[in-house]
Copies of this chain bind each other. A is one copy, B any other.
Amino acid sequence: MGRTSDAKHKILTAARTLIEQRGYSALGVAEICKAAGVPKGSFYYFFESKETLALAVIDEQWATERLDWETVLNGDAEPLQRLRQLFEGMRTRQEAGQEGCGWVLGCMFGNLSLEMSTQVDAVRRRLQGIFETQVGLVTAVVTEAQQRDEVTASDASGVARSMVAQAEGQVLFAKLHNDPAQLSTLWPNCSALLGVRDHQLQAQS
Protein backbone atom coordinates (compact mmCIF):
# COMPACT_ATOMS: atom_id res chain seq x y z
CA MET A 1 0.00 0.00 0.00
CA GLY A 2 2.79 2.41 0.97
CA ARG A 3 4.49 1.88 -2.34
CA THR A 4 1.42 2.34 -4.50
CA SER A 5 0.31 5.64 -2.97
CA ASP A 6 3.90 6.81 -3.31
CA ALA A 7 3.69 5.97 -7.03
CA LYS A 8 0.50 8.01 -7.36
CA HIS A 9 2.18 10.97 -5.69
CA LYS A 10 5.20 10.63 -8.01
CA ILE A 11 2.97 10.55 -11.10
CA LEU A 12 1.05 13.65 -9.97
CA THR A 13 4.23 15.57 -9.17
CA ALA A 14 5.88 14.67 -12.48
CA ALA A 15 2.72 15.48 -14.42
CA ARG A 16 2.32 18.86 -12.72
CA THR A 17 5.89 19.84 -13.56
CA LEU A 18 5.61 18.67 -17.16
CA ILE A 19 2.21 20.34 -17.69
CA GLU A 20 3.51 23.60 -16.21
CA GLN A 21 6.55 23.58 -18.46
CA ARG A 22 5.17 22.19 -21.70
CA GLY A 23 1.38 22.11 -21.54
CA TYR A 24 -0.91 19.12 -21.74
CA SER A 25 -1.20 18.23 -25.42
CA ALA A 26 2.49 17.63 -25.96
CA LEU A 27 2.69 15.04 -23.17
CA GLY A 28 2.34 11.30 -23.42
CA VAL A 29 1.65 8.81 -20.65
CA ALA A 30 4.97 7.06 -21.32
CA GLU A 31 6.88 10.31 -20.80
CA ILE A 32 5.04 11.08 -17.57
CA CYS A 33 5.80 7.58 -16.22
CA LYS A 34 9.46 7.92 -17.19
CA ALA A 35 9.75 11.27 -15.40
CA ALA A 36 7.96 9.84 -12.37
CA GLY A 37 10.10 6.70 -12.38
CA VAL A 38 7.11 4.36 -12.25
CA PRO A 39 6.00 1.58 -14.62
CA LYS A 40 3.18 2.31 -17.06
CA GLY A 41 0.98 -0.25 -15.30
CA SER A 42 1.02 1.96 -12.19
CA PHE A 43 -0.34 4.84 -14.21
CA TYR A 44 -3.44 2.97 -15.32
CA TYR A 45 -3.91 1.55 -11.84
CA PHE A 46 -4.44 5.10 -10.56
CA PHE A 47 -5.71 7.01 -13.59
CA GLU A 48 -8.15 5.96 -16.25
CA SER A 49 -6.61 8.26 -18.85
CA LYS A 50 -4.39 11.27 -19.40
CA GLU A 51 -7.53 13.39 -19.02
CA THR A 52 -8.29 11.92 -15.57
CA LEU A 53 -4.72 12.71 -14.57
CA ALA A 54 -5.06 16.29 -15.84
CA LEU A 55 -8.15 16.76 -13.65
CA ALA A 56 -6.28 15.36 -10.63
CA VAL A 57 -3.33 17.72 -11.26
CA ILE A 58 -5.70 20.69 -11.58
CA ASP A 59 -7.55 19.72 -8.38
CA GLU A 60 -4.33 19.31 -6.42
CA GLN A 61 -2.98 22.64 -7.68
CA TRP A 62 -6.20 24.47 -6.84
CA ALA A 63 -6.40 22.88 -3.38
CA THR A 64 -3.01 24.44 -2.61
CA GLU A 65 -3.69 27.80 -4.24
CA ARG A 66 -7.18 28.06 -2.75
CA LEU A 67 -5.69 27.76 0.71
CA ASP A 68 -3.45 30.76 -0.10
CA TRP A 69 -6.37 32.78 -1.48
CA GLU A 70 -8.54 32.02 1.55
CA THR A 71 -5.77 32.70 4.06
CA VAL A 72 -5.14 36.13 2.55
CA LEU A 73 -8.73 37.11 1.80
CA ASN A 74 -10.19 35.93 5.11
CA GLY A 75 -7.39 37.56 7.13
CA ASP A 76 -7.67 40.34 9.71
CA ALA A 77 -6.36 43.20 7.57
CA GLU A 78 -8.66 45.83 6.08
CA PRO A 79 -10.45 44.74 2.87
CA LEU A 80 -8.32 46.73 0.40
CA GLN A 81 -5.14 45.57 2.16
CA ARG A 82 -6.22 41.95 1.74
CA LEU A 83 -6.95 42.44 -1.95
CA ARG A 84 -3.63 44.19 -2.41
CA GLN A 85 -1.82 41.33 -0.64
CA LEU A 86 -3.49 38.78 -2.93
CA PHE A 87 -2.66 40.53 -6.20
CA GLU A 88 0.84 41.65 -5.16
CA GLY A 89 1.48 38.09 -4.00
CA MET A 90 1.04 36.89 -7.59
CA ARG A 91 4.34 38.50 -8.52
CA THR A 92 6.08 36.78 -5.60
CA ARG A 93 4.67 33.43 -6.70
CA GLN A 94 5.92 33.87 -10.28
CA GLU A 95 9.33 34.95 -8.97
CA ALA A 96 9.55 31.80 -6.85
CA GLY A 97 8.61 29.66 -9.87
CA GLN A 98 11.25 31.36 -12.00
CA GLU A 99 13.92 30.78 -9.36
CA GLY A 100 13.00 27.11 -9.32
CA CYS A 101 13.21 26.31 -13.04
CA GLY A 102 14.43 29.44 -14.83
CA TRP A 103 11.02 30.22 -16.33
CA VAL A 104 7.97 32.20 -15.36
CA LEU A 105 5.44 29.40 -15.73
CA GLY A 106 2.34 31.56 -15.46
CA CYS A 107 -0.99 30.38 -14.12
CA MET A 108 -1.73 26.70 -14.71
CA PHE A 109 -5.46 27.41 -14.96
CA GLY A 110 -4.97 30.18 -17.52
CA ASN A 111 -2.52 28.07 -19.51
CA LEU A 112 -4.90 25.12 -19.65
CA SER A 113 -7.91 27.34 -20.39
CA LEU A 114 -6.29 28.55 -23.57
CA GLU A 115 -4.81 25.20 -24.50
CA MET A 116 -7.61 22.79 -23.69
CA SER A 117 -10.93 24.55 -23.25
CA THR A 118 -12.09 23.90 -26.80
CA GLN A 119 -11.10 20.25 -26.56
CA VAL A 120 -11.75 18.53 -23.25
CA ASP A 121 -15.13 19.34 -21.78
CA ALA A 122 -14.47 17.95 -18.29
CA VAL A 123 -11.35 20.12 -17.99
CA ARG A 124 -13.22 23.15 -19.28
CA ARG A 125 -15.92 22.76 -16.64
CA ARG A 126 -13.37 22.25 -13.88
CA LEU A 127 -11.47 25.41 -14.89
CA GLN A 128 -14.72 27.39 -15.11
CA GLY A 129 -15.49 26.32 -11.55
CA ILE A 130 -12.06 27.37 -10.29
CA PHE A 131 -12.30 30.83 -11.85
CA GLU A 132 -15.85 31.24 -10.52
CA THR A 133 -14.59 30.37 -7.04
CA GLN A 134 -11.74 32.87 -7.38
CA VAL A 135 -14.18 35.58 -8.49
CA GLY A 136 -16.50 34.69 -5.60
CA LEU A 137 -13.70 34.95 -3.04
CA VAL A 138 -12.66 38.37 -4.38
CA THR A 139 -16.28 39.54 -4.63
CA ALA A 140 -16.82 39.00 -0.90
CA VAL A 141 -13.93 41.32 -0.05
CA VAL A 142 -14.93 43.91 -2.67
CA THR A 143 -18.38 43.95 -1.04
CA GLU A 144 -16.77 44.70 2.33
CA ALA A 145 -14.84 47.60 0.75
CA GLN A 146 -18.09 48.87 -0.79
CA GLN A 147 -19.84 48.77 2.58
CA ARG A 148 -17.02 50.91 3.99
CA ASP A 149 -17.42 53.30 1.05
CA GLU A 150 -13.80 52.82 0.05
CA VAL A 151 -14.43 52.11 -3.66
CA THR A 152 -16.69 53.60 -6.33
CA ALA A 153 -17.29 50.38 -8.34
CA SER A 154 -20.93 49.34 -7.92
CA ASP A 155 -20.96 45.81 -9.39
CA ALA A 156 -18.88 43.80 -6.91
CA SER A 157 -18.80 40.52 -8.80
CA GLY A 158 -18.29 42.27 -12.16
CA VAL A 159 -15.27 44.15 -10.86
CA ALA A 160 -13.92 41.02 -9.14
CA ARG A 161 -14.12 39.19 -12.47
CA SER A 162 -12.29 42.07 -14.19
CA MET A 163 -9.55 41.98 -11.56
CA VAL A 164 -9.01 38.25 -12.04
CA ALA A 165 -9.01 38.79 -15.84
CA GLN A 166 -6.46 41.58 -15.40
CA ALA A 167 -4.27 39.21 -13.39
CA GLU A 168 -4.50 36.53 -16.10
CA GLY A 169 -3.54 39.03 -18.81
CA GLN A 170 -0.60 40.40 -16.85
CA VAL A 171 0.61 36.90 -15.93
CA LEU A 172 0.49 36.11 -19.66
CA PHE A 173 2.87 39.01 -20.30
CA ALA A 174 5.11 37.94 -17.40
CA LYS A 175 5.33 34.47 -18.93
CA LEU A 176 5.91 35.76 -22.46
CA HIS A 177 8.75 38.03 -21.30
CA ASN A 178 9.91 35.60 -18.60
CA ASP A 179 9.82 38.61 -16.31
CA PRO A 180 7.79 38.70 -13.07
CA ALA A 181 8.28 42.50 -12.93
CA GLN A 182 5.59 42.74 -15.62
CA LEU A 183 3.21 42.21 -12.69
CA SER A 184 4.28 45.42 -10.93
CA THR A 185 1.28 47.34 -12.27
CA LEU A 186 -1.26 44.67 -11.31
CA TRP A 187 -2.37 46.20 -8.02
CA PRO A 188 -2.53 49.79 -9.35
CA ASN A 189 -4.64 48.40 -12.24
CA CYS A 190 -6.94 46.63 -9.78
CA SER A 191 -7.23 49.88 -7.80
CA ALA A 192 -8.32 51.67 -10.97
CA LEU A 193 -10.88 48.96 -11.77
CA LEU A 194 -12.23 49.17 -8.20
CA GLY A 195 -12.31 52.95 -8.26
CA VAL A 196 -10.45 53.11 -4.94
CA ARG A 197 -11.30 56.46 -3.37
CA ASP A 198 -8.53 59.07 -3.18
CA HIS A 199 -8.10 59.08 0.60
CA GLN A 200 -7.74 55.30 0.53
CA LEU A 201 -5.09 55.51 -2.20
CA GLN A 202 -3.18 58.02 -0.07
CA ALA A 203 -3.42 55.75 2.97
CA GLN A 204 -1.90 52.92 0.92
CA SER A 205 1.05 54.81 -0.50
**Which of chain B's residues have a CB closer than 8 A to the CB of A13?**
none
Copy number in this complex?
A: 2
Judge whether A165 and B158 touch: CB under 8 Å. no
Please determine whether B162 and A185 come into contact, CB atoms closer than 8 angstroms: yes
- For A170, the chain B residues whose CB sits under 8 A away are 162, 165, 169
Q: Does A43 contact B (CB under 8 A)?
A: no
Q: Please tell me if A62 contacts chain B, counting CB pairs below 8 Å.
A: no
Report the stretch among A72-80, A87-95, A104-112 that lies at the interface: A104-112
Contacts of A185 in B (CB 8 A): 158, 161-162
What count of chain A residues pass the 8 Å CB interface test?
Answer: 42
Given A111-B115, A166-B165, the answer on whether A23 and B25 have CB atoms closer than 8 Å is: yes
- Interface residue? A164 (CB, 8 A): yes
Q: Indicate if A10 sits at the interface (CB-CB under 8 A).
A: no
Pick the most buried of A111, A168, A172: most chain B CB atoms within 10 A of its CB: A172
> Does A8 sit within 8 A of B, measured CB to CB?
no
The residue in A23, A124, A165 that gathers the most chain B C-beta atoms within 10 A of its C-beta is A165
* Known contacts A158-B185, A185-B161: A105-B118 contact under CB 8 Å: yes
Interface: A127 (CB within 8 A) = yes
Chain A interface residues toward B at CB < 8 A: 21-23, 25-26, 103, 105-106, 110-111, 113-115, 117-119, 124, 127-128, 131, 153, 158, 161-162, 164-170, 172-173, 175-178, 185, 189, 192-193, 195
Rank and list the top 10 A-B pairs by shortest CB-CB distance, nearest first.
A165-B169, A169-B169, A25-B26, A168-B169, A25-B25, A113-B176, A111-B114, A103-B118, A165-B170, A162-B189
